[in-house]
Amino acid sequence: MSNAKQQAESEPTPEFNQRCIAVLRRWEGGDLPFKEALAQLTTLSQRADAAGETVNQGRAEQLLAYIQHYRGNLDESIYHNKRARTLYHRAGNLRRVGIIDLNQGENYRFKGDFIHAQHLYQSAQRISEKLEDTGSLTLATVNEGLILLAMGDNAAAYRAFQKGLALAAQYPQDNEIQQQTYRRLMSEIRHGLAVIYLRENNVAGAWEEATSALKLAERTGDAILSGYAYRTIGEVLTALDQPPEGDYSADPDDYFRAALDSFRSLDAEAEIARTMYAQALSLAARGRRNTAARKLQHVMIMFERLGMVDDANRAAQAQRDVT
């Protein structure tokens, strides 16, 4: 069997894929309640399983993982991604295995399990390089940069973002879906660079990158990207000598609240805790040390519950510093 024929046979059938996508689009458009979308995709998965249609079942499981992820049900999303990966691997569809690794990395990143997420992103990168898939390689590279950023490795994160910029320059923008993906990539990169510049005390550069990240995020409608950008703007505002001119609020708490609203909409617990930690440091820098200490105590408990040991230790040290 030729490679082209084998690849075609390891893809979902067009008819089945259309049924899955129709459910997804109705849910995204608000015309189908979440529970009904879940039920319909589950039925499609069960029917494909009964018919022995391995790849079709994998596609339904992939979309079940997708809607559970955006609902904030990360454990359920992880479960369905694992099922989808097993099915795609059994069918020999390496491209979709790589996509699942990338999606699963997002789940573990939101849960705060950064080591597991990094391994998945690296797996997705290896698969993308083997298949010469620039788009997926760019996504995996940028997301690994965000993991490195969260782990405090600024130099490695900067290299990942610079590689991401070079790859993004080759990313196709032939349709609206590709254009939206490009905006998401650029928003993540700009956010990452803003954090690095802020850590290096390049406040002007951080402000430029953070506001650019927010503008891109707003065009995508992505809650996580907006949360990143809002949080970083709050941090940069704390460090600025003068409030920025224009339409931006001069109160950092406005942006921390907006970031928390964004992350809570997806139950992104690790990012909620990190945002509260950033806000506590901002409060301390603005002289509100008692409020900061109480918030740090709460954040420390959250980090411990999530198993984020390094973050919990940083929160504990910060609490000692402000009391």
Condensed to tens digits (0 to 9), the pLDDT of residues 37-53 reads 999 999 999 999 999 99
CA distance 134 to 128: 7
For position 268, what pLDDT does the model report?
A: 78
The SS3 assignment for 252 reads helix
Answer whether residue 279 is part of any domain.
Answer: no
- HSE of 210 in the Cβ direction (CA atoms, 13 Å)? 26
Answer whether residue 144 is part of any domain.
Answer: no
CA distance 291 to 294: 5
Q: Which regions of the chain does DSSP assign to beta strands (E)? A: none
Of the candidates 91, 145, 156, 85, the one whose C-alpha atom is nearest the C-alpha of residue 121 is: 145
Please give the DSSP secondary-structure letter assigned to residue 73.
-
Answer whether residue 61 is part of any domain.
Answer: yes
Structurally, the chain folds into a number of domains equal to 1
Tokens of 88: 């795609």
Answer whether residue 66 is part of any domain.
Answer: yes
Answer whether residue 84 is part of any domain.
Answer: yes
Answer whether residue 53 is part of any domain.
Answer: yes
Tokens of 323: 């009391």
Of the candidates 311, 308, 253, 318, the one whose C-alpha atom is nearest the C-alpha of residue 111 is: 308
For position 19, what pLDDT does the model report?
A: 98
CA distance 118 to 287: 37
CA distance 236 to 285: 12
pLDDT tens for the 323 residues of the chain, in order: 444 444 445 899 999 999 999 999 898 878 899 999 999 999 999 999 999 999 999 999 999 999 998 777 889 999 999 999 999 999 999 999 999 999 999 899 888 888 999 999 999 999 999 999 988 899 999 999 999 998 889 999 999 999 999 999 988 888 988 899 899 999 999 999 999 999 999 999 999 999 999 999 999 988 889 999 999 999 999 999 777 777 889 999 999 999 999 988 877 788 899 999 999 999 999 999 999 999 999 999 998 888 778 888 999 999 999 98
CA distance 185 to 192: 11
Give residue 42's domain range: 1-92
CA distance to 38, 45, 73, 129, 245, per residue, from 23 (Å): 9, 13, 18, 32, 45
Answer whether residue 57 is part of any domain.
Answer: yes
Answer whether residue 40 is part of any domain.
Answer: yes
For position 9, what pLDDT does the model report?
A: 55
Q: Model-level pTM?
A: 0.80
CB 121 within 8 A of CB 105: yes
